[in-house]
Amino acid sequence: MSPADHSAAEAFVYHEAALLDAGALEDWLDLFAADCIYWIPSRADAPDPARHVSIVYDDKPKLMTRIARLRSGKEYAQDPPSITCRQITNVVTRSGADVAIEVRAVLVVYEKRPNAAMQAIPAHARWRLAVEDGGLRIREKRVMLTDLDRYYENLTFLL
């Protein structure tokens, strides 16, 4: 992979994190391909979301519904919305056979809710990116939480 492609992919995942932290959910959704998958498995070794329980397993229409629900004012678990800060490190990229670029990184999401201690949610993330209309689009985003035995009180915000 060329240094320019690596830099573009790295900048893309940083941009995605910035959109989420800013609450720009519609702009974030625009980063996804029409045939995308957003997956948070409930087991570290889950190879197939159709055969294993998932915390989140959404395609683009489900992501649109999730965002509409968050914007409706009736998602009481996110009223007021969480304040988040994402940190992405250890970014590794490679060209893929089924996608233009695969990005792997360590992701830590810090989330603050009113009257609650800040929580840190560490994960390993993988983005499979495709080139569409001259730009990168997320074909698949997989977030593997590193502490799956932990009790998470509220994961209604987007990782």
Rounded Cα distance, 58 and 107, in Å: 19
In a domain, 113, yes or no: yes
Distances (CA, A) of 87 to 27, 107, 108: 19, 6, 5
pLDDT at 77 (0 to 100): 77
* Torsion, CA 90, CA 139, CA 66, CA 20, rounded to 10: 30
Q: Mean pLDDT of successive 10-residue segments in the chain (159 residues)? A: 87 97 95 96 85 91 92 79 94 83 96 89 95 92 91 72
In a domain, 56, yes or no: yes
pLDDT at 84 (0 to 100): 94
Residues 86, 90, 94, 96: is their CA dihedral positive or negative? Answer: negative
In a domain, 151, yes or no: no
In a domain, 153, yes or no: no
In a domain, 16, yes or no: yes
Domain containing residue 109: 3-145
In a domain, 157, yes or no: no
pLDDT at 152 (0 to 100): 77
Indicate the pTM of the whole model: 0.90
pLDDT at 45 (0 to 100): 82
For residue 43, give the CATH number of its domain: 3.10.450.50
pLDDT at 159 (0 to 100): 67
pLDDT at 44 (0 to 100): 82
Number of C-beta neighbours around residue 2 at 10 A = 8
- SS3 (DSSP) at 64: helix
In a domain, 76, yes or no: yes
Rounded Cα distance, 73 and 128, in Å: 32
Q: How many domains, in total, are found in the chain? A: 1
Beta strands (DSSP E) in the chain are 32-41, 54-58, 83-95, 101-112, 119-132, 135-145
In a domain, 156, yes or no: no
pLDDT at 5 (0 to 100): 87
